[in-house]
Amino acid sequence: MSSSEIEIVSDSISPNNNTNQQQQQKIVITDVFTASVYGDLQKLRKFVEEDGASLSSPDTNGYYALQWSSLNNFPHIVQYIIEHGGDVNATDLSQQTALHWAAVRGSIGVADLLLQNGGRVEAADANGYRAVHVAAQYGQTAFLNHIIAKYNADFDAPDNDGRSPLHWAAYKGFADTIRLLLFRDADQSRQDKEGCTPLHWAVLRGYVEACSILVHAGTKQELTVKDKAGFTPVQLAYDKGHRHVALLLSNIQRAHTKRLKGTFWAGKVIGVGYAPFLFCTIFCLMVLFVISVLLAPSLAKVTAAVALWGWTAVSLCAGALIMFYRCSSKDPGYIKRYDGSGDLREAQDPLLNLDMNSSSVWTGNWSQLCPTCKIIRPLRSKHCPTCKHCIEQFDHHCPWISNCVGKRNKWDFFVFVCLGMATSSISGVISVLSIITGIWTAVPAIPTSEAWMHHVIAHHPGVIVFLVMDFLIFVSATTLAVSQASQIARNITTNELANTSRYTYLRGPDGQFRNPYNHGCRKNCGDFLIQGYTNDDEIAWPPLQAVTR
């Protein structure tokens, strides 16, 4: 594979408005071109109005003053040039217009001036690159979205090699640009002249996040597409030595293949999850505890105190099963998506409005775009590839309850694991005490520990089985309960803890971790216990509005 991209002459100084005075004094402005490069309107006026310089002629390299001012994002210079004879559609030797140059650095204000004064949004250069291609090559996501939404730019247009903006965004690894293009329904199955899809190009460069977005938003058919060299994306990843990408794609392809085969474990377990198995296990253990411990004739007669605690454990177990059913069957916080019927503006959920400029949940963070559900989701939401929905305040997907844990069922999940921890601990202690009491009552003088263990296994196998399973449940439930309690106290989710480096709203101005939703242990716990969730509208400090990866 080979690739070429647009080359914009930008090796000269590209000043901004914060350039200090000492640097400005060293700049020598000799003509309209250098005046346009550095945004000096006063000098530009002198050259044009007093010296009679032309703004419609190129410099010795074939570049126009309008291109230089567009590249360096000087709308006032652009406006002046247009008003004094500058041609918005003038092309240099590579047939690039000022709009191409504006796209390099994402100059949205300049783009508006150019397009509102007759600029052609679909103008193509010698390579067939349009402004959408250039914006994708340089990762200018906001610029790309602006010309698509406002000027109907063709975001699927191919260049001379058959590559769309999505190909270029994948090749350069710009995850946010990929999200935007997929959100706008860009065709990710398109093959260029070399037979490569956008996934091939992302694999070629070894971009794990780009590959993950493309695969999860796609139909999985892209995994089997071969380029002209005969490589599928998986084979290409192995060939180029990108192990992490190869592992990601192999696992997804393997899971998809298993679903297609329809085997028991693939079809039933993957489709339904482990919830039925866990439910039956808990119920069977409860029955085994009653039969083998509370009502066992071979053990010592249960005292009133033991019976009270024993039946308390049974009651807690029944409560745990009820909460298990609730958190398994309850909506975890699905964010509704537009189903294609009716008027988009009349949809019930405000998130279905695709106009990001008027969305109340849009914070300027491109990770809020879900390319699969085609919605703008709240900051703390995430798309679950298993449930195939975006979940509000997504915590994690739990295969043991066959459901996600999110805003609307996290309280049920936390109560479930707490009841599981309490039940397993109480029933375990009662079982051990019953065995010890029963043995010393029945056989007061067992000589050795080996004989003691042999007697327990031979006469109380049901209790041993129960204790082994109960111990596993106790360890699991306790670990979950402690971790969930810690997260609730800090008002942070499992997903956020695992991806703190990716979410810029979890970093302060100094770049260090700082949770804007943490109001202190007392308020966090109080809100969760009373409401079942915390209100994301109440933040302790404003999160950064930067774009996450």
> How many alpha carbons lie under 13 Å from residue 6 in its C-beta half-sphere?
36
More confident residue, 83 or 23: 83
Query: Whole-model pTM above 0.95?
Result: no
Cβ(503)–Cβ(516) below 8 Å: no
Per the DSSP assignment, residues forming a β-bridge with 376 are 369
The CATH-assigned architecture of domain 21-238 is Alpha Horseshoe (1.25)
pLDDT confidence of residue 353: 39
Can you tell me the distance from the alpha carbon of 211 to that of 66, in angstroms, rounded to the nearest whole number? 38
Domain limits, the chain: 21-238, 275-330+409-498, 344-405
pLDDT confidence of residue 24: 47
Phi-psi region of 508 (alpha: psi -120 to 50; beta: other; left: phi over 0): beta
324-355 pLDDT tens trace: 999 999 999 998 765 544 443 333 333 333 45
215 has a pLDDT exceeding 70: yes
Can you tell me the distance from the alpha carbon of 478 to that of 472, in angstroms, rounded to the nearest whole number? 10
Other beta carbons within 10 Å of 30 = 9
Can you tell me the distance from the alpha carbon of 412 to that of 328, in angstroms, rounded to the nearest whole number? 9
402-419 pLDDT tens trace: 999 999 999 999 999 999
Other beta carbons within 10 Å of 332 = 27
One DSSP character per residue, 218-286 reads S-SGGGG---TTS--HHHHHHHHT-HHHHHHHHHHHHHHHHHHHT-IIIIIIHHH-SHHHHHHHHHHHH
Q: 47: closest CA among 92, 97, 84, 91?
A: 84
Can you tell me the distance from the alpha carbon of 45 to that of 125, in angstroms, rounded to the nearest whole number? 30
pLDDT confidence of residue 349: 36
CA dist 83 to 44, 80, 265, Å? 13, 5, 70
Tokens of 377: 């989701």
435-459 pLDDT tens trace: 777 555 555 554 555 555 666 666 6
**What is the average pLDDT across 122-139?**
96
pLDDT confidence of residue 136: 97
The H or E element that residue 398 is part of is strand 396-398
Whether residue 387 lies in the annotated active site: no
Tokens of 437: 């009491």
pLDDT confidence of residue 131: 97
367 has a pLDDT exceeding 90: no
Task: State the residue for tokens 């409560």.
Answer: 319
Write down the mean pLDDT value for the chain.
83
CB-based contacts of 156-160 (< 8 A; 24+ apart in sequence)? 156/186, 156/187, 156/190, 157/122, 157/130, 157/132, 157/133, 158/128, 158/190, 158/192, 159/124, 159/127, 159/128, 159/129, 159/130, 159/133, 160/127, 160/128
Task: State the residue for tokens 């716990």.
Answer: 525
**What is the average pLDDT across 99-108?**
96
- Confidence band (pLDDT; 50, 70, 90) for 3? low
pLDDT confidence of residue 456: 62
Q: 295: closest CA among 312, 311, 318?
A: 311
180 has a pLDDT exceeding 50: yes
266 has a pLDDT exceeding 80: no
Q: 185: closest CA among 166, 209, 162?
A: 166
- Confidence band (pLDDT; 50, 70, 90) for 144? very high
pLDDT confidence of residue 449: 54
CA dist 404 to 43, 85, 91, 275, 338, Å? 63, 61, 54, 12, 21
One DSSP character per residue, 322-374 reads HHHHHHHHS---BPP---S-S-GGG-SSGGG---GGG-TT--S-GGGEETTTT
More confident residue, 270 or 523: 523
In the chain, what percentage of residues exceed pLDDT 90?
57
More confident residue, 260 or 224: 224
pLDDT confidence of residue 458: 63
- Confidence band (pLDDT; 50, 70, 90) for 68? very high
Selecting among 370, 384, 398, 418, the annotated active-site residue is 398
pLDDT confidence of residue 399: 92
pLDDT confidence of residue 271: 53
- Confidence band (pLDDT; 50, 70, 90) for 35? very high
Residues 6+ positions from 358 with CB-CB distance below 8 Å: none
More confident residue, 221 or 160: 160
- Confidence band (pLDDT; 50, 70, 90) for 152? very high
376-396 pLDDT tens trace: 888 889 999 888 889 999 999
